[in-house]
Chains A and B, each alone.
Chain A
Amino acid sequence: MLRPATAAETQEALTDAWASATTLEVRAGGSKSALGRDAPAAVVLDVSALSGIVDYDPAELVVTALAATPLASIKAALAERNQHLAFEPPDYAALLGSDGAATLGGTLAANLSGSRRIGAGAARDHFLGLRAVSGRGEEFKSGGRVVKNVTGYDLAKLLAGSFGTLAVLTEVTLKVLPAPEDACTVIVHGQTPAKAVQWLTQLTQTSLDISGLAHLPAALTANSHVSAVRDTGNATVVRLEGIASSVAARLQVLRDRWLADAGHGHETSVLDVEETRDLWREITDGRLLPRTGVIWKISVPPADGTMVAERIARQLHSDILFDWAGGLLWVAVQGDSAQEGVVREACRDCGGHATLVRASAAERRRCPVFQPQPPALAALSRRIKDAFDPNGILNPGRMAV
């Protein structure tokens, strides 16, 4: 295990590893160690000491922190100034059965976003600048500390979602935004998934500016700690956020104009700001999903979500939670088999991608965790990997490349 205390020591460690072609598993909090292809490396590079906020100026709407700063510390610091990371960074520790603490760098390296992603953008959209060390042991920077910048290639985008296979992040700068003053959630109970997604699709075409649109199957609502949701059957949930007067006005429009369209005879309820926070935390962190079995996360065009879900449900014993107005499917499959063939076939002709989020290490060696790419794209990805890490020392095999 290598445990650099500074960016300079990280660079030294990587220079040595490059020279000796020693493969490294890059780890910070370790909460997502089980996410990705199972491909152990020779040595663990533990960067968790690179922690702490470097610069936070609320009026500039940016925060700069060392990459392994725990997400919880960042959130607490921003909350003190009524700000937040608008992409709603999830914490998959419980989902992945880890007791590690999610970090800012890990969240970016996996490009993980929560329910608000549909409107506010992904982690990568808030990633403004970075310092990192490449697989050559060279320290480089990209981007900046301002919210609008087109100087040079946008390497922040490329490193977001690269799972530490291109470079080791040492310092990151993110855009922050004011946290909403108020929020509420409307629940429609008992809709079928198809009807629910159709209704959510209509809502996305209104000017109600809805920041969360999800459908929870009855079996999974049992895992909620929010009493209005727990064991109440299928729940279709819609979140409104903003200044109090605006939330109230939009809630009224939703009641007057849209609840009738949700279907006759369905009960509805409304969650207050605390319950809203708790419920969407559960959805975003995957806490409603079963603690055992296989989990897939599938991103498809929202209007295709129901079709993909029906194809899977016909063939597998599974529970499917819809987020992003139908564009994100969390599929919980019973048993140990990843059932990769069924899942990939289900979304084959509609674009999008499926990620095997949770499965045994053996399953994550046996089948591709990430969406396989067409040859030209796979070859390009390989060349990009070589451009950053020619000796293949960083998390080798964790992605496809």
Chain B
Amino acid sequence: MLLPAPDAAVIGRRDELAEALRRILPRASVLTGEDERRPYESDGLTAYRQMPLLVALPETTAQVAAVLKVCARFGAKVVPRGAGTSLSGGALPLGDGVLLGMAKFNRILEVDYDNRSVVAQPGVANLAITRAVEARGFYYAPDPSSQVVCSIGGNVAENAGGVHCLKYGMTTNNVLGVEAVLMSGEVIRVGGKHLDAGGYDILGVLTGSEGLLAVITEVTVRILRRPETARALLIGFASVEAAGECVARIIAAGIIPGGMELMDKPAVHAAEAFTHAGYPLDAEAILIVELDGTPVEAEELSERVGDIAGAVGATSVRASASDAERLTFWKGRKAAFPAVGRIAPDYYCMDGTIPRRKLPEVLTRVGELSKKYALGVANVFHAGDGNLHPLILYDANKPGELARAEEFGADILRLCVKVGGVLTGEHGVGVEKRDLMPEMFGEADLAQQQRLKCAFDAEGALNPGKVFPTLHRCAELGRVHVHRGETRFSDLPRF
């Protein structure tokens, strides 16, 4: 993995930079000691570690602006971090960069039911927003599996998803406005409690920009009234093909389930052993289909889905008779990652999206790759939106296994692109999939994206080394024909 060459001049001025930051922040909010910095050396992609030059923990927008200005003056790079749950290394520190921790921005600022919105600081946990409004029957829809801890600011930066995206959208479809600070220290506000933009949709492009364009300091999200009822069906199939056919027919019948999750046999067995959710262990694949809405709607649609399942030869169909049973069906799926963590010392979670009809073909090919790399794999699939999460099983203590798992993963993502899909459905590119970007995008595509980056951050100081396989200076991008590979990177040590 190549990251930008460490800037020896900045590293040499570390103490001076720390002092400058301590004139802005309380002394305890600038961390320089090795033990203090250690918790920040990695995010959810734990295979990569790097100690930051130092850590700054601002708590006001004015402090963020001042910190960015100081960093710009020193020529120091900045890596923003929310709760540090990124699965793509989006918050991986730089040895010559300031890690900007946003955890102190932890307050919900306003709940506004009349405008169906919540204004929150970026360090507020995703689930905390739902907790703040659930007494009145509302919730915040995107529900990434890390929602107990992941921050709403990080959700905006990564355009986080979850299991209800097909019906309720991703973060980008549920954010109404943000306040953000540019690397220049300028503060901008875009969107708000109203809809749409009066100029370019800067909110839309900040969402999912992986911390490369601006630092989010406030977020306004829309909240939804929770559907009156939800019913879930747990359906077993003798083949992945039959499960895939069932998904296609549900959608062809005009039904958009609130959630529709597919698990293959290894994932079912791991989840069942861990949670005892009552999954059929003889099935080659299971589907969990959740229908929500009014009671009559949930009832009628679950009957229709049950009929479709029967027509494609499902081996078992169970409909939840109570909310407790519905949550039991989900328990296994929601615990699938830790459950897989129990059957192998380590796992590597992939995140491609594919056209749904390609699922059987892709899973067959993933099975072949599993044999080739001699590593096990369990598959969970957001069947509604085509987002596939193969979990590659490996043992980091065995020499070469991590490298093999990464090669296996890269092959899976190339396969996703080849069948008409994309590299990442919800985890982001980060450092993890950065070098695979040319699989999906040509030179002109990437150059245009980097020109946009230059409009926000001309010096390339915000989160460099993420998303783009090759860093260009903005001046180079001014030319019509872009030349590649002129910037040298050094190796990042890997543990």
On A, residues with C-beta under 8 Å from B are: 18, 57-61, 82-83, 111, 113, 117-118, 121-122, 124-125, 134, 136-142, 144-158, 160-162, 166, 177-179, 181, 201, 204-207, 209, 242-243, 245-246, 249-250, 299-303, 324, 327-328, 351-355, 370-371, 373-374, 376-378, 380-381, 383-384, 386-388, 390, 399-401
Contacts and interface: CB of A to CB of B under 8 A. Distances in A.
The 6 closest A-B pairs by CB, nearest first: A157-B204, A353-B198, A371-B198, A178-B254, A301-B193, A246-B297
B200 A158 contact: yes
B135 interface: no
A157 B228 contact: no
Contacts of B189: 374, 377
Interface of B: 112-117, 136-138, 158-159, 161, 165-166, 169-170, 172-173, 182, 186-190, 192-205, 207-209, 225-228, 248, 251-252, 254-256, 293-297, 300-301, 353-357, 382, 385-387, 420-429, 433, 437, 440-442, 444-449, 451-456, 467, 478, 480
A151 B420 contact: no
A270 B37 CA distance: 65
18 contacts: A59-B357, A111-B196, A146-B422, A147-B165, A148-B166, A149-B353, A151-B437, A152-B449, A209-B294, A243-B300, A245-B300, A301-B112, A351-B192, A353-B197, A376-B186, A380-B182, A381-B202, A387-B448
Given A148-B426, A178-B255, A207 B228 contact: yes
A384 B386 CA distance: 32
Contacts of A371: 198-199
Contacts of A370: 198-199
B244 to A, nearest CB: 10
B385 A147 contact: yes
Contact of A147 (B386, B442, B451): B386
A113 B197 CA distance: 12
B254 A154 contact: no
For A147, A154, A355, A377, the residue with the greatest tally of chain B CB atoms inside 10 Å of its CB is: A147
A360 B226 CA distance: 46
Contacts of A140: 442, 444-445, 447-448
Contacts, number: 281
Given A152-B440, A162-B201, 4 more contacts: A147-B353, A243-B297, A299-B196, A327-B195
A384 B455 contact: yes
Contacts of B455: 380, 383-384, 386-387
Contacts of A354: 198
Contact of B254 (A161, A179, A299, A384): A179
B173 A146 contact: no
Contacts of A380: 182, 186, 188, 202, 455-456
A301 B192 contact: yes
A147 B448 contact: no
A152 B293 contact: no
B426 A138 contact: no
Contacts of B387: 148
A352 B193 CA distance: 8
B201 A138 contact: no
B413 to A, nearest CB: 10
A154 B194 contact: no
B298 to A, nearest CB: 9
A117 to B, nearest CB: 7
A205 B113 CA distance: 7
Contacts of A142: 445, 448-449
A123 to B, nearest CB: 9
A141 B200 contact: no
B195 A249 contact: no
B11 to A, nearest CB: 30
A206 B294 CA distance: 11
Contact of B165 (A138, A148, A156): A148
Nearest to A166: B200
Given A155-B449, A157-B172, A301-B192, A384 B200 contact: yes
B145 to A, nearest CB: 15
Nearest to A298: B194
A222 to B, nearest CB: 28
Given A246-B297, A301-B192, A383-B455, A373 B199 contact: yes
